[in-house]
């Protein structure tokens, strides 16, 4: 009988201790993220969710795997005091307590819901357009224009920019890509990053020594990336062409980011024939509920 009473007493004590431990720390409530169009990040980067409380960002959680619904427990007073939500992209092994400039979604709370969009922290891609030609101006060879691509429009009296893109917010850059192929394997190859489509881009690792146009683009002549040989594997005809929006800094420089405002396919005729890119306004969106 004594042993049974002792067991019951210990059980009651255990329940009391558990109940007390559940009360440690402030109470929490759920923050629910219902987001469409996000894709997993590569290169070790992560998303970080933030609330803005009294004008200051408060980190909620980091994550890299993406589902349509994600729930985070948040201190109730913090959640109730928040006026805004935003989602940033953070560096691998990020130890900075402040958010990066690369923000992909944001929204203001109205009651318990914040509708979150990318247009206010990235750009509005609803009116973009693009053209390009196949040419190799940097090697001074007249019969190999299929090994280069330049985002320009030569149809007027003067050559004009081939891209019409909105300025990007801090933390983002545009990048051109051609998806080259060899033995059935695809190789996305960058034509360079840029912030202004009316001037040259940031690099020309594959071009020759001749003068390049004052617009983004690249000749695939020298120093091919691993798996390819230039110029023979640099034939652009029939290949996919992409203008992507990239985080800056970019933690995965080998593949395009999943936001691609312009896409197209290079046809068979080289410059002055003009190829057209198709606008794509698919960007992440959703809502956050507290």
Q: What is the pLDDT of residues 169-182, one digit of tens each?
A: 999 999 999 999 99
> What percentage of the chain has pLDDT greater than the value 70?
92
Q: What is the mean pLDDT of residues 240-269?
A: 97
pLDDT for 171 equals: 97
Provide the pLDDT confidence category of residue 140 given band limits of 50, 70 and 90.
confident
According to the model, what pLDDT value does residue 66 have?
87
What mean pLDDT comes out for the span 259-271? 97
CA distances from 94 to 48, 76, 219, 243, 245 (A): 10, 26, 36, 28, 22
User: Which of 27-41, 57-71, 102-116, 175-189 is the least confident region?
Assistant: 57-71
pLDDT value for 12 = 33
Domain ranges in the chain are 25-122, 129-281
Q: What is the pTM of this model?
A: 0.89
CB < 8 Å & 24+ apart, contacts of 256-261: 256/175, 256/177, 256/188, 257/175, 258/39, 259/118, 259/122, 259/283, 259/284, 261/125, 261/128, 261/165
Residue range 161-189: mean pLDDT, rounded: 97
Mean pLDDT of 66-82: 94
User: Can you read off the two tokens belonging to residue 282?
Assistant: 């698919």
| Mean per-residue pLDDT, 22-27 | 73
> Is the pLDDT reported for residue 3 higher than 70?
no
Q: Does the pLDDT value for residue 13 go beyond 60?
A: no
Of 6-10, 45-49, 114-118, minimum mean pLDDT range: 6-10
3-state secondary structure of 234: helix
User: What single-letter DSSP state applies at residue 133?
Assistant: B
Which DSSP helix (H) or strand (E) runs through 283? none
pLDDT reading at 199 higher than 90: yes
How is domain 25-122 classified at the CATH fold level? Immunoglobulin-like (2.60.40)
| Average pLDDT value for residue range 121-140 | 95
* Interval 193-220 mean pLDDT: 95
Q: Pairing relation of β-strands 240-247 and 69-75? A: unpaired
* Three-state SS at 183: coil
Query: What are the tokens at 7?
Result: 């067991």
Give residue 23's pLDDT band: very low, low, confident or very high (50, 70, 90): low
Among the listed residues 109, 117, 247, the one whose alpha carbon sits nearest the alpha carbon of residue 169: 247
Residue 16: the pLDDT is 32
Give me the chain's average pLDDT, please: 91
Q: Please list, residue by residue across 164-198, b when 16 or more beta carbons sit within 10 angstroms of its beta carbon and e when fewer do.
A: ebeebeebbbbbbbbbbeeeeeebebbbbbbeebe
């Amino acid at each position: 009988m004594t042993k049974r009473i002792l067991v019951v007493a210990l059980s009651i004590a255990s329940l009391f201790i558990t109940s007390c431990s559940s009360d440690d720390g402030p109470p929490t409530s759920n923050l629910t993220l219902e987001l469409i169009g996000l894709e997993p990040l590569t290169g070790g980067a992560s998303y970080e969710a933030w609330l803005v409380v009294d004008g200051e960002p408060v980190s909620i959680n980091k994550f890299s795997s993406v589902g349509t619904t994600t729930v985070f427990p948040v201190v109730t007073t913090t959640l109730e005091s928040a006026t805004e939500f935003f989602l940033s992209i953070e560096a691998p092994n990020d130890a900075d307590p402040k958010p990066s400039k690369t923000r992909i979604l944001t929204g203001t709370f109205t009651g318990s819901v914040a509708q979150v969009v990318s247009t206010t922290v990235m750009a509005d891609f609803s009116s973009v357009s693009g053209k390009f030609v196949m040419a190799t101006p940097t090697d001074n060879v007249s019969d190999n224009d299929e090994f280069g691509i330049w985002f320009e429009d030569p149809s007027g009296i003067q050559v004009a920019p081939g891209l019409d893109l909105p300025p990007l917010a801090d933390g983002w850059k545009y990048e051109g890509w051609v998806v080259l192929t060899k033995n059935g394997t695809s190789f996305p190859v960058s034509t360079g990053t840029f912030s202004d489509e009316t001037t040259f881009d940031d690099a020309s690792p594959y071009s020759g020594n001749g003068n390049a146009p004052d617009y983004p683009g690249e000749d695939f002549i020298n120093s091919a990336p691993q798996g390819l040989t230039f110029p023979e594997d640099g034939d652009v005809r029939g290949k996919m062409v992409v203008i992507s929006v990239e985080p800056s800094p970019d933690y995965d420089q080998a593949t395009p980011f999943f936001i691609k405002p312009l896409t197209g396919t290079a046809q068979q005729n080289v410059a002055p024939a003009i190829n057209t890119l198709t606008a794509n306004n698919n960007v992440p969106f959703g809502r956050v509920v507290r």
